[in-house]
Structure formats: structure tokens, C-alpha cells
Amino acid sequence: MTDPLDVATLQRRLADFAAARDWQRYHTPKNLVAALSVEASELVEIFQWLTPEESADVMADPDTAHRVTDEVADVLAYLLQLCEVLGIDPLAALDAKIDRNERRFPLP
Amino acid sequence: MTDPLDVATLQRRLADFAAARDWQRYHTPKNLVAALSVEASELVEIFQWLTPEESADVMADPDTAHRVTDEVADVLAYLLQLCEVLGIDPLAALDAKIDRNERRFPLP
Amino acid sequence: MTDPLDVATLQRRLADFAAARDWQRYHTPKNLVAALSVEASELVEIFQWLTPEESADVMADPDTAHRVTDEVADVLAYLLQLCEVLGIDPLAALDAKIDRNERRFPLP
Amino acid sequence: MTDPLDVATLQRRLADFAAARDWQRYHTPKNLVAALSVEASELVEIFQWLTPEESADVMADPDTAHRVTDEVADVLAYLLQLCEVLGIDPLAALDAKIDRNERRFPLP
């Protein structure tokens, strides 16, 4: 039986992976945000010529579904590594942001 | 006492927030990946003129630390909303990707 | 009477502008491509929630037209500065690329 | 003897190329800005793990020099196509932007 996945476990796997390959010296915050934006653009590339309707249906094709899932993983990988080197808790950051947005865009 | 934060809880908050404002019609996968890439670039903007050494020290300034944390939250918000509309489990996607990377970049 | 605009004239203006403010030390190729991608994303931000039809009509609103034109200028500014520091002729690069694309995507 | 290259000539070549392949229906402004940002990120990808010093030296390696030049061409191609569909003169836009920046960042 495996433990359920959580963010801290994945961050530890990512840090171990980078450390074992001596890649941590490349992982300045500046480089990690660049890599994050590159991976986000690889997601955009999948969708760039699609109509809104076609974009809603990308998971119907197994190859495209795999590509999208793979790029989502890459974005999350760099986001979690960035948070690790900067000492940011991503889930707490988002929770606080939703709180601020609820005040910024109040319901009628 | 509050429950510990997890991805599913945040996804529910984000979905409720969008639904209450009738914003879900904007949230095609194509639009969400564009918004994700825009937020990732807002992170890059903070770092674009910094040296590697300066970039490692961004959290020392409270205003910059807040900006970085806020943009991290925005990136995560769009990533989780994208995963929600596409039916992707982001933590499982990353776990599988690390497995593949361990085979792709084997240790000596 | 002013001379007609050309790329070399604009590159000289940009270089003079940066030199007069001692900004050239920030203009490593790495930083310039980051800035270029940030400006490209500011263009995306204008369009991110628009339908294809709305996007075709952005120039009808004077404020939006000004924003789009301004971001186009920013993208071009960083592209020309990048070409200057790397010694690339952007028009020749594009001309050669169209030649290659004509061979890569031949007409029936 | 060939005519010297200019922006209008390249825009005509790009428009003819797209029209001959019936690609113009994909070239909404929204899609073109997405493609522009994707190409800008492909430039970033080349530089993402480089030190500032390494980034200043990318043209020394012929393969990397070719990749950089090719991506510069792609960015310019989408920028010029965007300007064509929106009726923006990119050189005039940049000239006006430099004028505004000279007022915004005056010399001492």
C-alpha cells in the first residue's frame, strides 16, 4: 500500500532527483521561473490553433491527453521546486489569494 | 480548528468562486492555459533584470516576497482550474512524470 | 522632413537610449529574451478571455488599440535589442526562414 | 540583384505563404499572440540554464547560433502577421514608444 500523494512528498522526490544529478546549482529562482514559463508555453502550444470547442475536447485523443498531462506535470514540477528554494507554501499562498479575491470581487 | 489544506479543497474553492461570478464560461482549456502562461510571465517579470545572486535573495524584501507569493498563487490557481476542467489529477501526473524522468536520466 | 523608418535606425535609437541610462549592463541575451517573453505575454493578457470574434475586433476600441500597439512596440524593442547584442539581422533571418518553410511545407 | 529586405516585403511573403496553404483562418489575433508568446518561450528555453556569461557567448557555437536565429525569425514572423491582421505599423509603433520612453525616463 502506498501513501497518498501530497505536495511535500512530491517536493522531496523532486529535490532528491535534482540533488542526485547535481542539478541544484542550476536551480536559481531566476532559472526556475524561466523554466516554469517555458513549460506553461508548451501547454499553450498544444492549444494555440484550436477553436474554443476543440480545446474543450483535447482529452478525447489519447496522445494529446498524454501530452497535456505531461506538460501539466512539468509546470507543477518547476512551481514546486521554486516554492522549495524560496520557502513558499504553495497551498497556503493560494488559500490566502482566494481570500483576497473574495474581498476584491464581492458577490452582489 | 481548520482542516489541513489540500489540492481538492482548493479546487473546490476555485470552482465555487468562478461559478458564483459566472466566470466558468470563460474557462475553456485554451483560455486557462493562456492565463496560466501570463501568470508565469508575471513571475519572470519580477526576476528578469536580477543577477542569479540577487534572484536567490528575493524573499528578503517583504514587498517582493509578497509579490512572488501572490504570483505563485495565481499560477497554481490556473493550473488547478485547468486540471479540474480537463479531469487531470495534478499530483498523480507529477508522480508519474518523476518516475519517467528517473528512467530517462538514470544515475550512474 | 524625416527619414523613413527602418530597423537599423530604430536599433540605433534603442542602443542610444539604453547607453544614456547605463542600462546596457542589464541587457545580457538571457535577460533580453526573458523581457521579450514577458512583453509577448502582456499581449496575450489583452486577448486571454476574448472569443476569436472579439479578438478580431480589438482595434475598434481606441484604448485597447493603444494598449495592443504599445505591447507590439515593446516586443519589437526587445527583439531588436537582442538581435543587436547577438549580431543577428532579423529581416535576413526571417527571409531565410520563409525560404526554409516553403521547402518544408510545399504546395501541392 | 535582389531588392533590399524590408518589413512590408516580408509581410507580403508571409501573407502569401499563409494564403496559399489556407492557414489564414487560423490567424485570429488571439491565436497569433499565443503563437508569438510560444516562440518567445522557445528562445527562453535556449537560455534558461545558462549563466549570464554563457548567455553572452551563445553565437560562438554554430548549432546554437542557428537555433537562436531561427527562433528570432519565428518571433518576428508572428509579430509581423499580427501587425498585418490588426493594421499596426510595427516600426512606427516602436518609434512612438521610444519617444514616450524618452519623456518617461528623462536624462538628468
Tell me the C-alpha distance between A69 and C34, whole Å. Answer: 26
CA distances C51 to B50, B81, C72, Å, are: 36, 19, 20
List the single residue in A with minimal CA-CA distance to D35.
A48
User: Which three three-digit cell numbers place residue B105?
Assistant: 536520466
- Picking from A35-44, D2-11, D60-69, which range would have the lowest pLDDT averaged per residue? D2-11
List per-residue pLDDT tens for chain C, 108 residues long. Answer: 455 789 999 999 999 999 999 999 999 999 999 999 999 999 999 999 999 999 999 999 999 999 999 999 999 999 999 999 999 999 999 999 999 999 999 998
CB contact under 8 A, A5 and B92: yes
Above 60 in pLDDT, residue D99?
yes
- Chain C, 41 to 80: residues with Cβ < 8 Å from chain D are 41, 43-44, 46-47, 50, 52, 55-56, 58-59, 68-70, 72-77, 79-80
Distance CA D84, CA B17 (A): 39
pLDDT of residue D1: 43
State how far the Cα of A90 lies from the Cα of A96, in Å rounded to an integer.
Answer: 10
User: What confidence tier does D91 reach under pLDDT thresholds 50, 70, 90?
Assistant: very high
Q: Which of D15, D37, D12, D42 is nearest to D27 (CA)?
A: D15
Question: In this structure, is the dihedral angle defined by the CA atoms of residues C56, D25, D33 and C91, taken in order, positive or negative?
Answer: negative
Chain D: closest CA distance from residue C1 (Å): 15
**Of A26, A98, A36, the residue nearest B73 (C-alpha):** A98
pLDDT in tens, A70-97: 999 999 999 999 999 999 999 999 999 9
DSSP state of C4: P
Rounded to whole angstroms, how far apart are CA atoms D21 and D29?
18
Instruction: Please state the ipTM of this predicted complex.
Output: 0.95
Cα separation of the two ends of chain A:
48
- The answer to whether residue A68 scores a pLDDT higher than 70 is yes
Please give the grid coordinates belonging to residue D101: 520612453
pTM assigned to the model: 0.96
Whether C48 sits inside 8 A of B41 (CB atoms) is no
* Owner of C-alpha cell 521547402: C103
CATH superfamily of the domain spanning A7-97: MazG-like (1.10.287.1080)
Residues of B whose CB is below 8 A from D41: 37
Q: How far apart are CA D98 and CA B99, in angstroms?
A: 50
Give the per-residue pLDDT at B1. Answer: 43
Contacts (Cβ under 8 Å, ≥6 apart) of D12: none
Domain ranges of chain C: 7-97
**Cβ–Cβ contact C24 with B under 8 A:** no
